[in-house]
Structure 1
């Protein structure tokens, strides 16, 4: 599906915190953005991905060789099935979702109509701003895909700026649990600690804890099994 110049026409379904950033990263790698759907914060999406046409989902798919789906977890299965029912998916089209918990099975309705299913989850906390593009350059991405097209999914992760790590379909639930545990626990503990500091009169509790939390997390990561090696991309 690639054009002769090697670029893909990339469409984004989902204009929340993740979709526009993924689009901007792929645009930075030389791909062409064909369109994006309207979402929860179109103004923010436009700031990250300026000039991208805002289209309905079926038109985004019609124009695109690679469709990136970045929607809430509970919406993904119904969206994929609904597009299939409407005859939207195209033969040979790459369809990539970014949800940590799902592998490629959730994309079966698209695959049954000839699309190529890919699951790529960059392991960062997205803010929905251009700051995320820098975070991607020091990140890893969980990649799940059929064996024949796994190199495509890995290459797309690299183009995002991340180092791909292959996660088996059967392991996606455990992977998602690990991501949720790290994210939610970190937020809860920092929130509790900053609230306590506020109670004792510390005016900038977040700033006060910044160096402590960062250094503590780094030490914990270095004590974890395996080396703490940053990506080289």
Structure 2
């Protein structure tokens, strides 16, 4: 996006993802006009200092770009509820960050003239400013109507990520891959930590840190891993 294309950004969702996405977009020159309140407003304030806490309808009223970073089970209800009160605006960009949804979940907003985009930064968020460094090394899955795909890709770049287009029909497979990588990794680390603790190893998670990271790096670099194509970079 050009410098003249700076947007007023509203964040609905004050968990781990929303404040960090807001901070990344603010770092790219956009103005964060508000964020909904959550269970840890002090943390949000540390990531987005000075940004006002507003209710969702007011955020939608003020923002040209609305970022929906709410739990998976709540996303459809939030979109539909705001549509029911006539909050969505014609030409307004609406982005959700959920890997498990494509564009259908944004249909109530799109039917009222908003522009639907799905952008999932592929990192494990902590909800702190440390995530901004992770974004700089990450990919983002981008799904959007063809006419506005360049906008979604540009926003992913402004988050610090390299955009990778995922077709709407492929979002379920994408979500399964992300869930497999994250949940399996966490489960294995927990199991190994428990075994080390039973063996008398103090601070087993620190003990595992180097071997886990090196093993994952080796697996990702394996040229024979499934999904890799000779002559192309390894699959991620």
Length-normalised TM-score, structure 1: 0.95
Contact 2:144–2:152 under 8 Å retained in 1: yes
Per the alignment, residue 129 of structure 2 pairs with 130
Per the alignment, residue 90 of structure 2 pairs with 91
Per the alignment, residue 17 of structure 1 pairs with 16
The whole-number CA distance in structure 1 between the counterparts of 2:94 and 2:151 is: 11
The whole-number CA distance in structure 2 between the counterparts of 1:64 and 1:178 is: 33
Query: Mapping of 1:1-233 within 5 angstroms?
Result: 5-223=4-222, 224=225, 225-226=228-229, 227-228=233-234
The whole-number CA distance in structure 1 between the counterparts of 2:194 and 2:9 is: 43
Higher alpha-carbon deviation: 171-180 or 4-13: 4-13
Matched position secondary structure for 2:5: coil
The whole-number CA distance in structure 1 between the counterparts of 2:79 and 2:210 is: 43
The whole-number CA distance in structure 1 between the counterparts of 2:209 and 2:113 is: 49
Change (3 A) 1:64 1:157: same
**Per-residue deviation, 1:40:** 2.5
Contact 2:220–2:235 under 8 Å retained in 1: no
**Per-residue deviation, 1:6:** 2.2
Q: Which runs of 5 or more residues in structure 1 are unaligned?
A: none
The whole-number CA distance in structure 2 between the counterparts of 1:71 and 1:173 is: 18
The whole-number CA distance in structure 2 between the counterparts of 1:114 and 1:105 is: 14
The whole-number CA distance in structure 2 between the counterparts of 1:78 and 1:6 is: 30
**1:133-158 deviation digits (Å, cap 9, x = unpaired):** 00000000000000000000000000
Change (3 A) 1:123 1:213: same
Number of residue pairs aligned between Structure 1 and Structure 2: 229
The whole-number CA distance in structure 1 between the counterparts of 2:104 and 2:235 is: 31
Matched position secondary structure for 1:34: strand
The whole-number CA distance in structure 2 between the counterparts of 1:110 and 1:81 is: 7
The whole-number CA distance in structure 1 between the counterparts of 2:235 and 2:143 is: 22
**1:45-67 deviation digits (Å, cap 9, x = unpaired):** 11111111100000001100000
Change (3 A) 1:29 1:4: closer
Matched position secondary structure for 1:45: helix
Matched position secondary structure for 2:125: coil
**1:6-56 deviation digits (Å, cap 9, x = unpaired):** 210000000000000000000000000000001132111111111111000
**1:122-180 deviation digits (Å, cap 9, x = unpaired):** 00000000110000000000000000000000000000000000001111011000000
